[in-house]
Chain A
Amino acid sequence: MFELDQIQVPDLTDPNFIPFWEGTREHQLRIQKCCDCQMHRWPPRITCRSCHSTEVEWVSVEPKGTLFTYTIVGRPTAKGFSSVPYTVGFVTLDAVSNVRIIGNVVDVDPSVIRIGMALEGHFVTAGPNGEMTLIHWSPAENGA
């Protein structure tokens, strides 16, 4: 449904995102965690919102979660997304409940998408030369 090779590739050398993109290439979802207060955070930031520490590590988390909110896009607005409708959702991670990840919800008819549904992330190669690996979210195998 997406033209994955036409999706515009961000600056993959941006230091704030290198660990994230390296992770997805290895089929890992990595997010930030404060080295001082241990709080996970997202999107990537220089400073911990809780304790203002700038010491940060990247940790792998299981790409499983539930749909927090979403929209079904009915009018094409971005390269690689000329085929509508498609769904963009915010996914609350099961392992880290204060982190939500933005992604496309796939393998499900938009009419039956509902908030709270269990989702599993999987890794998809995209960009004109396969430069980046995106995370798409599908209904979890075991339902819920």
Chain B
Amino acid sequence: MFGGVNKACVTGVGNTEYRRKIDRPADVLAVEAVLAAAADAGIEPGEIDGIIPYPGHVGDDVIQAELSLSIRFRATIDMGGCGAVSGLGLASMAVLSGAARHVLLFRGLKGSSGARKADRPSFLPGQPFRRHLEYVYGMNTPAQRYAVLCQRYRHEYGLDRRTLGEIAIAARAHANLNPNAQMHGRELTMEEYLAGRLIADPYTLYDCCLETDGASAIIVSARNGARDIRILSVAEAQGVSPDDTSNREPFMDIGLTYAANRVWNDLGMGPEDMDAAMIYDCFTFELLHQLEEAGFAGHGKAAALIADGGIRLGGKLPVNPHGGMLSEAHQAGLNHVVEAVRQLRGECGVRQVENARLIAVSGWGQLGDGSFAVLGGRNV
């Protein structure tokens, strides 16, 4: 019904182990993930002829040289955590236009054993005004920049700390069904959550995503085989004043607000048609925020969806059954795409979403960039 053969597909996914402090360097991890994705797609690595890297980390040049690739299509998406889902759109255009046959997106990260976030070079836009207007007031990390959004939401709509706690605990419960999750085997209770140390109010330790050593990769192809997962629609957009949240108005608008609408209109579907959602969960509140901006709940209403197991496996809308960035791994959103593909293939064992046919995936980065895609399995 949706797209038929003239849609690009995710044909291969792969990843390394995800944990803290892996000895091997990021490029070795990236090669391992890329080889796994090629094997999963049933192609020789040399058949990869398009490449989209993650800026600031293992580069396309490294993968091209290591695997002796003949690259016909190369692009960089400088949108931080938004790029994994935006990349589905760009890769689709590349393979459907004939610019390439198999486009690789990959991440090779040493988030856990590298420098602390505040000490790493920032790729955020608006660096000059950040240095002049934010850093001099001790505001220089993602947790601080996103905390002010949560604080304002709390003022406008009210927000119980236990709602954020349930987001963290649901992610952990899912991770405990995923042997490769960084936090597998480590239970999280509401008491532990509420006792987490303050990072940037209202965010405490368990509201913040992981930092991970590990790599992931996907391959997008102009092919529509039995295991291939169709990219039904993708959109990206920016919030008003995309590089700055302080003077954004409406303050809670983000790129996803507009991107999700475009996807729903494009497909003639809505949130109620989704069997699961992979939401870019850099912080607990950002998962709630995006559920609202993508239309899964009205403004100020997501807490009701989250309560009573609503976002857990078996709930009304299973969200991030892999554990997400909060409890599986930080792969700048690419692990969300990997999980969506595996879920739609029915490969997820004890964490399988029953009869998953349609899954929405969000990306979110650089304070204003949002991306959104709907992927479909064979039986759509």
Contact = CB atoms under 8 A, between A and B. Distances in A.
Q: Is B a genuine binding partner of A? A: yes
Interface in A98-113: 98-104, 110
Nearest to B197: A74
B112 interface: no
B147 interface: yes
A99 to B, nearest CB: 7
Nearest to B129: A43
Interface residues of B, number: 38
Contacts of A52: none
Interface residues of A, number: 46
Interface string B199-217: 1111110000000000000
Contacts, number: 119
B143 to A, nearest CB: 8
B136 A86 contact: no
A78 B129 contact: no
A115 interface: yes
A16 B127 CA distance: 13
B139 A88 contact: yes
Is chain B's binding surface mostly helix, strand, loop or mixed? mixed
Interface in B169-204: 197-204
Nearest to B118: A77
B352 interface: no
A119 interface: no
B25 interface: no
Contacts of A71: 139, 144, 147-148, 151, 200-203
Contact of A44 (B129, B136, B249): B129
Contacts of A134: 136-137
A14 interface: yes
A74 B244 CA distance: 23
B349 interface: no
Contacts of B132: 10, 14, 17, 20-21, 43
Contacts of A86: 138
B144 A74 contact: no
Contact of B247 (A20, A43, A75, A88): A43
Given A69-B152, A74-B200, A77-B117, 15 more contacts: A10-B128, A10-B131, A14-B128, A20-B132, A43-B126, A43-B133, A44-B129, A74-B199, A75-B197, A77-B144, A78-B118, A86-B138, A102-B246, A103-B137, A115-B151
6 contacts: A17-B129, A69-B251, A72-B198, A73-B138, A74-B199, A100-B247
